[in-house]
Amino acid sequence: LPDVVIVGAQRSGTTTIFRLLSEHPQVLRPTIVKGVAYFDLNYERGLAWYPGHFPLRLSARLRARGGQRLITFESSGYYMVHPLAPGRLARDLPQAKVIALLRDPVIRAHSSHRHESRRGFESESFEEAIDLEAARISGEAERLAADPSYQSYEYQHHAYLERSDYAPQIQRLRDAVGGDRLYVVDLPG
Task: Write the pLDDT tens digit of every residue in 47-66.
Answer: 999 998 887 665 655 566 66
Segments in the chain below pLDDT 50: none
* Closest to 5 (Cα-Cα) out of 82, 77, 110, 105: 77
pLDDT for residue 53: 85
In this prediction, residue 30 carries a pLDDT of 75
What is the pLDDT at residue 34?
Answer: 77
Which pLDDT belongs to residue 55?
74
In tens, the pLDDT along 142-161 reads 999 999 999 999 999 999 99
Buried b (16+ CB within 10 A) or exposed e, 100-131: bbbbebeebbbbbbeebeeeeebebeeeebbe
Residue 27 has what pLDDT? 85
